[in-house]
Amino acid sequence: MILFHTVCTIRQLPQALTLGESLQQHHPGEPFTIGLADDPSHLPAGFRCPYPLIHPEILNLTDLNRLSAQYTPAEFSAAVKPLFIRNQWQKGPEAERLVYLDPSVLLYRPLDDLSGRYGGASLLLTPHLLEPPVDRFYPDEKYFQNIGLYSSGFLALRRTAEAGRFLDWWSERVPERAFIRFCDALCTDQIWLALVPGLFDGVEIVKDRSWHVGLWNLHERFQGAGFSPAFFNFKGIVDQEGYLQAQNRSRPGRHPVVRTLLEAYRNRIRPFDRTGEVVLSGIEPAYGRQPFVPPLVGWRRNVVESLRETVRFIETVDVPRKV
Amino acid sequence: MTLAFTICSINYLAQARTLGDSLRQTNPDWKYVIGLVDKLDAAALPPELIPAYPMLEVDRIEIEDFAGMCDRYDITELNTAVKPFYIDYFFRNEPEAAEVIYFDPDIIVYQPLTRLKNHLGEYNLVLTPHICRPIDDGLIPNELNHLNTGTYNLGFIGLRKSEESNRFVQWWKKRLVHECRIDLCNGLFVDQHWVNFAPIYYDRVWIEKHPGYNAAYWNLHERTFSEKDGRWVVNDSYDLQFFHYSGYGVHKPEEVSKYQNRYTFPDRPDIVPLFRLYHQRLIDNLNETYRRYPCYYIKPPKVLYYQSVRKALKSPLNKLISAFENR
């Protein structure tokens, strides 16, 4: 049995339910649970979740208010994510595998390779990039070092002692250190995954190009006709989530195939967005009180970049002293 | 044939000779070359200071933009940036070398490296992670330090000559022409951080977790050392392959490494004999004499005059930047 799991806020529930629908379609009979990184009392009256909705109380966070005060909503979700995953893992051994997927993921076909090609691995990681970018667009490889080379939007664990050790290690570190502070090597729950191939055995780096397609790798995945993703993460395309708000490499809306997928995805989310008169996607997250400041984009970004460049020049240019 | 090499300036030749001596003893059929980031002509070493090992000066390996790199980089950056250029040179000019292995000069090889050689029959690259077991304290270096500076230690890399490893070397070279700098906030730490990408971009990369490889201050928390019948053994059951004395100095013999604060020698009596041995070998290999030679490529420190003028020019620009950022 595979247990699928996601973690989201109330405003992401329509996406999570869409993910659930695609999981039922391609993995019928496998359970799907949702960890709610939000205040359940903010759910509209009459909302019925077709999947078990795990409330944050179950995590026994003694310092929820403090965590909420120090983080942005995205950092807060990331901070509790490993705890939700570990909670699901500890529920019982019936689930031979546990697969975490971002709420913004949509599955297009069964992940048969979980038990096939990758059946022996304890832990599967999907890298953001599979090949070096050859263009000069933003972001470059250095930025991926800052946010983490492996995306935490997907994680597959097989029930082994090593996978359990990983979950203990990860959930010990992340809750208190889910800040996005590149200079301190911090970036939510994600950057930690860079240490995982060294620290744990049975870690496999998934190089299947159809897995975990997203804004960060559209340029390397949609090459040639007939490419079809096994699962697609719409993070940062249909919402403000993720770390690529300032990217200028891909224009998903202008790519014919991506545009079709995107339109179909939007159409699937829509029916889940309403409960009576209430629009779920309009409910602000309860936790994560720090404001999210989106990065500068477009011409503003360019102006600031060249100003910085000029400042650097003034600081370092060699001007010989008059003799 | 297996070719092992190191890179250093004349002031580190005692280390490079110590490494070479250990290789000659443990892996006598390997070829060993010292990549020299220095100029022999300028130094005019007396005969007793010429090592018994071939030296290959950096200005002879056909680095396209070498002048530019000298200009942009300080001595640490330059020494690390030329690593893939040497590998590339050996791939092109040493047709007999089926494997090319890089070691930092401050390493002693303790065993015939048959396991490494076997892996290089099967894999394109062999890399050693800094840590194979979690670190639970916040002392230096900790997990975050490794995230900032690279998860694999580039004091060692083994390469099999193959198309795939050549693709890796060409990519690495390209990055290091301009971006072999230390800028943690922007994802840069010399040549090392880049190699995080290697197991992702390239196939058949072996991540070596054998505790006898690249033992050093950063992995002492997971390794203990003992001597059994004249052989050094790690964690009671693994032969010590090579020890990396990174950050150790003959002039501070009481310090395990200038880059760490987790252990002292009294905390770790098990490593004391390993360091005594190294200390003595460096002295025997004329460390005192070599260390006085200044590197030809070292630049005089830049003095920035007119600070108040610079400040006056910068201030309005910085105001503009924050206006944009706090819109």
Contact across the interface for A149 and B185, Cβ inside 8 Å: no
Alpha helices in B136-228 (DSSP H): 143-149, 163-178, 198-201
Sign of the four-CA dihedral B255, B257, B259, B263: negative
Contact across the interface for A149 and B196, Cβ inside 8 Å: yes
Task: Please tell me the distance from the alpha carbon of residue A35 to that of residue B75, in angstroms, as a whole number.
Answer: 51
Full domain range(s) for residue B204: 2-301
Q: Which of B213, B87, B55, B56 is nearest to B161 (CA)?
A: B87
Hey, is A65 helix, strand or coil? helix
Looking at the structure of chain B, the number of domains it has is 1
Backbone angles phi, psi at B23, to 5 degrees: -70, -40
Task: Please tell me the distance from the alpha carbon of residue A161 to that of residue A106, in angstroms, as a whole number.
Answer: 30
Q: Angle at Cα A170 formed by Cα A164 and Cα A172, nearest 5°?
A: 105
Domain-embedded: residue B29? yes
Contact across the interface for A303 and B324, Cβ inside 8 Å: yes
Domain-embedded: residue B314? no
Hey, is A227 helix, strand or coil? coil
Backbone angles phi, psi at A186, to 5 degrees: -110, 135
Backbone angles phi, psi at A204, to 5 degrees: -120, 135
pLDDT at position B137, please?
96
Phi-psi region of A259 (alpha: psi -120 to 50; beta: other; left: phi over 0): alpha
Task: Please tell me the distance from the alpha carbon of residue B160 to that of residue B97, in angstroms, as a whole number.
Answer: 9
Domain ranges of chain A: 2-295
Task: Please tell me the distance from the alpha carbon of residue B323 to that of residue B303, in angstroms, as a whole number.
Answer: 31
Among the partner-chain residues A143, A145, A310, the one whose CB lies closest to the CB of B193 is A145
Tell me if chain B has a CB within 8 Å of the CB of A146: yes
Hey, is B100 helix, strand or coil? strand
| Residues in B touching A319 (Cβ below 8 Å) | 304-306
pLDDT at position A323, please?
62
Task: Please tell me the distance from the alpha carbon of residue A260 to that of residue B215, in angstroms, as a whole number.
Answer: 53
Contact across the interface for B129 and A198, Cβ inside 8 Å: yes
Suggest the residue from A179, A203, A310, A311 to mutate for an interface test with chain B (most B CBs closer than 10 A): A311
Q: Which residue of A has its CA nearest to B327?
A: A296
User: Where residue B168 sits, what CATH number does that domain have?
Assistant: 3.90.550.10
Contact across the interface for B314 and A315, Cβ inside 8 Å: yes
**Beta strands across the sheet bearing A123-127:** A53-54, A32-36, A2-8, A97-101, A150-158, A123-127, A203-205
Domain-embedded: residue B311? no
Tell me the nearest-neighbour CA distance from B267 into chain A, angstroms. Answer: 24
Q: For residue B247, list its beta bridge partners.
A: none
For B156, residues 6+ apart whose C-beta sits below 8 A from its C-beta are B101, B102, B103, B104, B107, B127, B128, B213, B214, B242, B244
Contact across the interface for A311 and B314, Cβ inside 8 Å: yes
Sign of the four-CA dihedral B150, A210, A7, A118: negative
Domain-embedded: residue B321? no
Contact across the interface for B151 and A198, Cβ inside 8 Å: yes
| Residues in B touching A212 (Cβ below 8 Å) | none
The 10s digit of each residue's pLDDT in B249-261 is 999 999 999 999 9
| Residues in A touching B197 (Cβ below 8 Å) | 129, 132, 141, 149
Q: Around Cβ B274, how many Cβ atoms within 10 Å?
A: 19
| Residues in B touching A173 (Cβ below 8 Å) | 143
Tell me the nearest-neighbour CA distance from A126 into chain B, angstroms. Answer: 9
The ipTM of this complex is: 0.95
Q: What is the CATH number of domain A2-295?
A: 3.90.550.10
Q: Which helix (H) or strand (E) holds B288?
A: helix B287-290
Q: Which of A120, A222, A125 is nearest to B200 (CA)?
A: A125
Phi-psi region of B161 (alpha: psi -120 to 50; beta: other; left: phi over 0): beta
| Residues in A touching B306 (Cβ below 8 Å) | 319
Q: Where are the beta strands (DSSP E) in B161-259?
A: 182-183, 188-189, 205-207, 225-228, 231-234, 238-239, 242-244
Q: Which residue of A has its CA nearest to B134?
A: A199
State the amino acid at position B97 in one-letter form: A
Task: Please tell me the distance from the alpha carbon of residue A6 to that of residue A32, in angstroms, as a whole number.
Answer: 8
What tokens does A201 get? 């055995």
For B114, residues 6+ apart whose C-beta sits below 8 A from its C-beta are none
Domain-embedded: residue B326? no
Hey, is A127 helix, strand or coil? strand
| Residues in B touching A198 (Cβ below 8 Å) | 129-132, 151-152, 207, 209
Contact across the interface for A318 and B146, Cβ inside 8 Å: no
The 10s digit of each residue's pLDDT in B66-87 is 999 999 999 899 999 999 999 9
Q: What is the number of helices (H) and of strands (E) in chain B?
A: 12, 14
Tell me the nearest-neighbour CA distance from B150 into chain A, angstroms. Answer: 9
Among the partner-chain residues B151, B179, B209, the one whose CB lies closest to the CB of A195 is B151
Q: Which residue of B has its CA nearest to A301?
A: B324
Contact assessment for residue A244 and residue A215, using Cβ atoms and an 8 Å cutoff: yes
Contact across the interface for A184 and B144, Cβ inside 8 Å: yes
User: In tens digits, what is the pLDDT along chain A, a chain of 323 residues?
Assistant: 999 999 999 999 999 999 999 999 999 999 999 999 999 999 999 999 999 999 999 999 999 999 999 999 999 999 999 999 999 999 978 999 999 999 999 999 999 999 999 999 999 999 999 999 999 999 999 999 999 999 999 999 999 999 999 999 999 999 999 999 999 999 999 999 999 999 999 999 999 999 999 999 999 998 877 899 999 999 999 999 999 999 999 999 999 999 999 999 999 999 999 988 999 999 999 999 999 988 898 899 999 999 999 999 999 888 888 76
Q: How confident is the model at residue B303 (pLDDT cuts 50, 70, 90)?
A: confident
Task: Please tell me the distance from the alpha carbon of residue A156 to that of residue A114, in angstroms, as a whole number.
Answer: 8
| Residues in A touching B317 (Cβ below 8 Å) | 307, 310-311, 314
Among the partner-chain residues A195, A296, A300, the one whose CB lies closest to the CB of B147 is A195
Tell me if chain B has a CB within 8 Å of the CB of A142: yes
| Residues in A touching B184 (Cβ below 8 Å) | 182-183, 185
Of the listed ranges A224-228, B50-54, B90-94, the one predicted with least confidence: A224-228
Please tell me whether the peptide bond between B46 and the residue prior to it is cis, using omega within 30 degrees of 0: no
Contact across the interface for A307 and B317, Cβ inside 8 Å: yes
Suggest the residue from B200, B318, B321 to mutate for an interface test with chain A (most A CBs closer than 10 A): B200
Q: Around Cβ A227, how many Cβ atoms within 10 Å?
A: 12
